[in-house]
Structure 1
Amino acid sequence: MTKTAIILGATGLVGSELLNELLNSSHYTHVVTLTRRALPISHSKLTNHIIDFEKLAQCGELFKGDVLFSCLGTTQKQAGSISAQRKVDFDYQFIAAQLAVSNGIKHYCLVSSSGANAQSRSPYLKMKGQLEQQIKLLAFERISIFQPSLLLGQREQFRVAEKIGSIILPIIAWLPFLKRYRPITGKQVAKKMLMVSTEQQIKLSYFVLDDLFE
């Protein structure tokens, strides 16, 4: 049985770990990645499409498979402004989801964020929550939303706040009432995503904090 996975954000912390998990998984025979630049790896199961995300709506023919894993994300500092960050964290991902559902992809897996809320005062958490809302209106057979807390791992770009948090949070998270908020590695999230994509049959499921450590 052939099964194809598509990844958005394959160069990011979770996406790169997920790519490795999928390539090593017997459940998938083909892995398609859509990136701005060529990936530094090659594999018999891997097809890497280099695209201009500003023209993503014209790339519908690339969204043919069984599962779409959406791992895109950036920071306001990297993007340059909230509006530019929203283009990556909301617009690109929603366009991709629309293309996927129109091509018959049945399962959508989204890396969101702990605290995502369409009514949040935080622009970041608000756009994450709004994306979740819009995705749930699309006609996927299954939608799986992952809401990790602080993500640990080797990133392409250094983030001062996350570095500080990666030192402090693991310590304070030992307190019983904060343990469920402890940081998680990109690899742990990727493993959970792979497992859910092969085993979970629930139409709409959320995986929040503690759920990701299972």
Structure 2
Amino acid sequence: MSALILGSTGLVGNEILQQVNKANFIEKLVTVSRKRPQLTSDKLTAIVDNDSTKWPELIKKQQDLKIGFSAFGTTRSAAGSAENFVKIDHGVNYECAKAAKEAGVETYVLISSVGSNSKSSFLYLKTKGQLEEDILGLDFPKTIILRPGVLLGERQAAKNFGNNFAASIGGLARKFNLSLGMNPISGEEVAKAAIHLSQNAKDKVEIIEASDLLKLVKELK
């Protein structure tokens, strides 16, 4: 069985890559990214192209893909504008998911965000919500959407001040077991849950909210 991983150089995507590489049920890993992921493995086929608009066509050329993981995303500050943010976070993500289905992917796992809602007045949450709806519209045999709270862990690239501040507060809340409604969770834990659900989800569509995600992680320990 082969797996596609988008966002493999990010916090959660890298964790998914590292963990799936150790999984016995995966024989081949395919990543598509702007820079090579931090993994050396005989299982890995790393496709590197700085032009993300070319990624869908590169994905379509892959064979025997069965599982797709997307932890790919950006921020408005990194994208440079609201328009570019939507083009990347929604546009590239959606087109890659569509290409993944054409390439044979049967189970698609999307790492979204707590509060995702296509009707939100906040651009980030609205974009995530619209992406969820559009990927559900692709009608994969199985679609799994994870909506984690504040993400904890070491990142290869720094996020903006707001993300860093939230992660700092989330880390303190986690450390002192405070209930701040942030549901802080590590990238490693999100990856573990994503991989588990890719093999064990019972329903055609499963949307896992932040609080339920934490409960699942505890059950998997």
Normalised by the size of structure 2, how large is the TM-score?
Answer: 0.89
2:122 is equivalent to residue 122 of structure 1:
yes
Q: Deviations over 1:31-90 (max 9, x none)?
A: 111111223432011110112312234322136400110110111111111111112210
Residue 102 of structure 2: aligned partner: 102
Q: Deviations over 1:65-120 (max 9, x none)?
A: 00110110111111111111112210011101111122321111001110000000
Cα distance in 2 between the residues matched to 1:38 and 1:104: 24
Structure 2 CA distance for partners of 1:63 and 1:138, relative to 1, 3 Å: farther
Cα distance in 2 between the residues matched to 1:198 and 1:182: 24
For 1:32, what is the secondary structure of its paired residue? strand
Cα distance in 2 between the residues matched to 1:39 and 1:113: 23
The answer to whether the 8 Å contact 2:114/2:147 transfers is yes
For 1:55, what is the secondary structure of its paired residue? helix
Shift of 1:145: 0.1
Cα distance in 2 between the residues matched to 1:67 and 1:34: 14
Residue 82 of structure 1: aligned partner: 82
The answer to whether the 8 Å contact 2:9/2:38 transfers is no
5 Å-filtered alignment, 1:133-212, equals: 133-159=133-159, 160-171=161-172, 174-176=177-179, 178=180, 181-212=182-213
Q: Which runs of 5+ in 1 are unaligned?
A: none
For 1:115, what is the secondary structure of its paired residue? coil
Cα distance in 1 between the residues matched to 2:103 and 2:170: 42
Structure 1: which amino acid aligns with 2:153? Answer: G
Structure 2 CA distance for partners of 1:91 and 1:117, relative to 1, 3 Å: same
Shift of 1:10: 0.2
Cα distance in 2 between the residues matched to 1:204 and 1:22: 22
Structure 2 CA distance for partners of 1:63 and 1:76, relative to 1, 3 Å: farther
Structure 2: which amino acid aligns with 1:200? Answer: A
Instruction: Pick from 33, 45, 49 the counterpart of residue 31 of structure 2.
Output: 33
Q: Which moved more, 1:152-161 or 1:74-83?
A: 152-161
Structure 2 CA distance for partners of 1:57 and 1:41, relative to 1, 3 Å: closer
Residue 54 of structure 1: aligned partner: 53
Shift of 1:175: 4.7
Q: Deviations over 1:188-207 (max 9, x none)?
A: 00000110111113100011
Cα distance in 1 between the residues matched to 2:82 and 2:64: 31
Q: Deviations over 1:8-36 (max 9, x none)?
A: 11000000000000001112111111111
Q: Which runs of 5+ in 2 are unaligned?
A: 217-221
- Number of positions where the alignment pairs a residue of Structure 1 with one of Structure 2: 210
Normalised by the size of structure 1, how large is the TM-score?
Answer: 0.91
2:22 is equivalent to residue 24 of structure 1:
yes
Residue 42 of structure 1: aligned partner: 40
Q: Structure 1 vs Structure 2: percent identity of aligned residues?
A: 33
Residue 69 of structure 2: aligned partner: 69
Residue 219 of structure 2: aligned partner: none
Q: Which moved more, 1:197-206 or 1:3-12?
A: 197-206
Structure 2 CA distance for partners of 1:171 and 1:35, relative to 1, 3 Å: closer
Cα distance in 2 between the residues matched to 1:201 and 1:172: 32
